[in-house]
Structure 1
C-alpha cells in the first residue's frame, strides 16, 4: 500500500514538472515572437496542436526534437537541452550537475 502512495506522489511531481516545462516553453515561444502555428512550421511539425500539448503539460517534448525546437526559438541548443533535462529528468540532472534542480 505504501508503494502506491509513493507512486502517486511521483506521478503528481512528474505532472507538475511537465506543467512547469510547458509554461517555460510557452514563455520562450512568446519571447521569440512566435505563435504555436509558426513554431510548428519552423520545426517541420505537421500540426500546431503538438506545440499546444507540450505547452499544456499533456505531452513531453521528445529529446530528439530538442535541437530543432531550440533552433526554432533562436536559443542555444545545449542550454535548452539542459533545461529540458531539469524538467523531465530531475534525478539525472542532479546526478550530472551535482546540484538539486532549481525547479
Structure 2
C-alpha cells in the first residue's frame, strides 16, 4: 500500500504546510471572513478545522477544492495549482516546473 506521498524531509513537509496555511489565511482575511464564517461557507463541521489548516496541520480534502475556491472568490484552477505546491510539491514540480507562481 502507498502510504507516504512525500519524499521530502518531515521538516520540509511541515514548513510547506505552514506556508500553505498562511496562503489560506491571507485569502480568508482578504475576503473579510472569520474562521467560523469560512467554515460555514465550505461546509466544515467545526470552525477549528480552518484554524488547523491555517497553522499547517492538515490539508483541504480534494473533493472540497471547488467549495473553497468559491467561498474565497478565487478561480479554482489557480487555487488548486497553488495548493499543490504546498500539498504535493513533487507532482507540482513535474507538472509546472520549479517556479513560485500560483
TM-score over 0.5 (shorter chain) = yes
Seen in structure 2, the aligned counterparts of structure 1 residues 15 and 101 have a Cα distance that, compared at 3 Å, is: farther
TM-score, scaled to structure 1: 0.86
* Distance in 2 (alpha carbons) for counterparts of 1:72 and 1:12: 30
Partner residue in 2 for 1:68: 67
Q: Which runs of 5+ in 1 are unaligned?
A: 1-6
Partner residue in 2 for 1:26: 25
* Distance in 2 (alpha carbons) for counterparts of 1:19 and 1:68: 21
The residue matched to 2:60 in structure 1 has which SS?
A: coil
Higher-helix-fraction structure: 1
User: Between Structure 1 and Structure 2, how many residues are aligned?
Assistant: 95
TM-score, scaled to structure 2: 0.87
Seen in structure 2, the aligned counterparts of structure 1 residues 80 and 91 have a Cα distance that, compared at 3 Å, is: same
Partner residue in 2 for 1:102: 100
Q: CA RMSD in A?
A: 1.5
Deviations along 1:46-85, one digit per CA (max 9) or x if unpaired, are 1101101000111111111111111111110111110011
